[in-house]
Amino acid sequence: MTTLAPAPAGARGPEPSAPRRTHVRRDARRLVPLVPAVVLLALFMLGPVVWSFYGSFTNAALTGPAAANPEFVGLENYANLLADPDFPKSLWLTVLFVIASAVVGQNLLGLGLAMLMRSAVGPVRAAVSTLVVAAWVLPEIVAAFAAYAFFHADGTLNALLGGVGIAGPDWLFEHPMLAVILANVWRGTAFSMMVYSAAIAEVPPEITEAATVDGASAVQRLVWVTLPTIRRSISTNLMLTTLQTLSVFTLIYVMTGGGPGTDSSTLPILAYQEAFKFAQVGYGTAIATVMLVIGAVFSVVYIRSLKPEVD
Partner 1 sequence: MTATSTAPATPAAPIDRGRPRRPAALVAPGPRATRLAANLVLVVVGLCFLLPLGWIVLASVDAQATLTVGLPEALTFANFSAVMTPEQTWVPLANAFLLSAGSGLVTVLASVLAAYPLSRYRMRFNKPFLYAVLFGTCLPITAMMVPVYSLFVRLNLLDSLPGTIFFMAATALPMALWMTKNFMDSVPVSLEEAAWTDGASAMTTLRRIVLPLMRPGIAVVFIFVFIQAWGNFFVPFVLLLSPEKQPAAVSIFAFFGQYGSVAYGQLAAYSMLYALPVIGLYVLVSRLSGSGFSLAGAVKG
Site for partner 1 in 224-263 (CB under 8 A): 233, 236-237, 240, 243, 246-250, 254
Asked if residues 310 and 298 have their Cβ atoms less than 8 Å apart, the reply is no
Least CB distance to partner 1 at residue 247 (A): 4
E-strand stretches of the chain = none
Beta carbon nearer to partner 1, 96 or 128: 128
Q: Does 171 bind partner 1 (CB under 8 A)?
A: no
Least CB distance to partner 1 at residue 153 (A): 8
Q: Does 5 bind partner 1 (CB under 8 A)?
A: yes
Q: Does 11 bind partner 1 (CB under 8 A)?
A: yes
Put residue 279 in one of left, alpha, beta given phi > 0 → left and psi -120 to 50 → alpha: left
Q: Does 164 bind partner 1 (CB under 8 A)?
A: no
Beta carbon nearer to partner 1, 265 or 285: 285
Q: Which of 223, 184, 3, 195 is nearest to 101 (CA)?
A: 184
**Residues that contact partner 1, how many (by CB under 8 A):** 114
DSSP 84-110: -THHHHHHHHHHHHIIIIIIIIIHHHH
Least CB distance to partner 1 at residue 231 (A): 14
In the set 18, 75, 79, 149, which binds partner 1 (CB under 8 A)? 149
Stretch that binds partner 1, among 76-84, 97-105, 156-164, 170-178 (CB under 8 A): 156-164
Q: Does 298 bind partner 1 (CB under 8 A)?
A: yes
Put residue 64 in one of left, alpha, beta given phi > 0 → left and psi -120 to 50 → alpha: left
- Residue 256: C-alpha distances to residues 42, 168, 227 (Å): 35, 17, 37
Could you give the string, one character per residue 26-65, with x where binding to partner 1 holds by CB under 8 A and - elsewhere? -x--xx-xx-xxx-xx-xxx-xxx-xx--x----x-----
Q: Rounded to an integer, what distance in angstroms lies between the CA atom of residue 209 and that of residue 193?
A: 23
Binders of partner 1 in range 197-216 (CB under 8 A): 197-198, 208-209, 212-213
Q: Does 152 bind partner 1 (CB under 8 A)?
A: yes
Asked if residues 245 and 102 have their Cβ atoms less than 8 Å apart, the reply is yes
Q: Rounded to an integer, what distance in angstroms lies between the CA atom of residue 222 and that of residue 108?
A: 13
